Amino acid sequence: MSSRYGRNESLIMLSASGPIGVFDSGVGGLSVLRHIRAQLPDEDLIYFADSGHAPYGSKSEAFVIDRSFRIADFLLSQKIKALVVACNTATAMAIHLLRDKYPDLPIVGVEPGLKPAAAKTITGIVGVMATERTLSSNKFHVLHQTLNDRTGVHFIMQPCPGMADLIEHAELDSEPIHALVRRYLTPLLEQKADTVVLGCTHYPFVRHVIEKIAAESGCPDLRIIDTGYAVARQLTHLLDIYAIRRGKTDCASAMQAYTSGDPKTIGHLIARLLQTTMPVAYISL
């Protein structure tokens, strides 16, 4: 492995007043950001949408690792006190390397959600909707095998090529997104899955489509696992451990977004997905 990914020798100074950095291959991580904002309303947040290189699910491992380090380095230059890898693919490919390089920095990743799904299923059959890259990662394979052996739950892996890309382009209610969700969800329902894991942070934004198609297919009580809440809860836990959680102040918390894509598009999506406005600046890294 290149020395680029070696341990960072300089000490990272963490301040309670510093912002929290969050990144994803695109806008999917906003589904995690909204949970962070809800649980930690007093914290300043910086979001990086790497939309110029989205989606990561179709990219090589080396590419995802390189982008993850470039973005982490940029966010550290903004004096962040914690990093959230709000992308399933980047978590699977790069988070262990980020933790090795930055041992002093609290880093939270997105877990696939298999464990809570195994606890919720009644039929013992769980569908996993994710990118091909996430499903093929060693981290995912080990977790899947461990839970399968321990619980006896049968996990059906469903790669969903194209879904994240449509969501990235704000197709949340279009006929193409309905067609893709139906294509990927139907085989899971036909195999009696009563629980579905959303294994990509983009997918919660089409949860309403998943629920609609499940109901039309005779499965109105489908359990859907979105791990954004758990990520925010773990982040809160780490901030408390490090004693860097920001207390209440008279100043309103601030949010700033950066993107390697088109700032206007990202700004529009933030307004639509989060019902708020946020300044967005372009940076290529």
| 251 part of the active site | no
Cα–Cα distance for residue pair 84/32, rounded to 1 Å:
9
Cα–Cα distance for residue pair 82/92, rounded to 1 Å:
18
Q: Give, to the nearest 10 degrees, the angle between helix 138-151 and helix 88-101.
A: 110
b/e map of 143-159 (b: 16 or more CB within 10 Å)? Answer: bbeebeeebebebebbb
Pick the catalytic residue from 87, 160, 219, 251. 87
**Residue type for position 246:** R
What are the φ and ψ backbone dihedral angles of 212, each rounded to 5 degrees?
-65, -45
3-class SS shares of the chain: helix, strand, coil, % to 5: 50, 15, 35
> Is the C-alpha dihedral spanning 198, 199, 205, 210 positive or negative?
negative
Cα–Cα distance for residue pair 94/284, rounded to 1 Å:
20
Pick the catalytic residue from 160, 200, 219, 251. 200
Check residue 218 and give left, alpha or beta (phi > 0: left; psi -120 to 50: alpha): left
CB 64 within 8 A of CB 98: no
Residues involved in catalysis: 87, 200
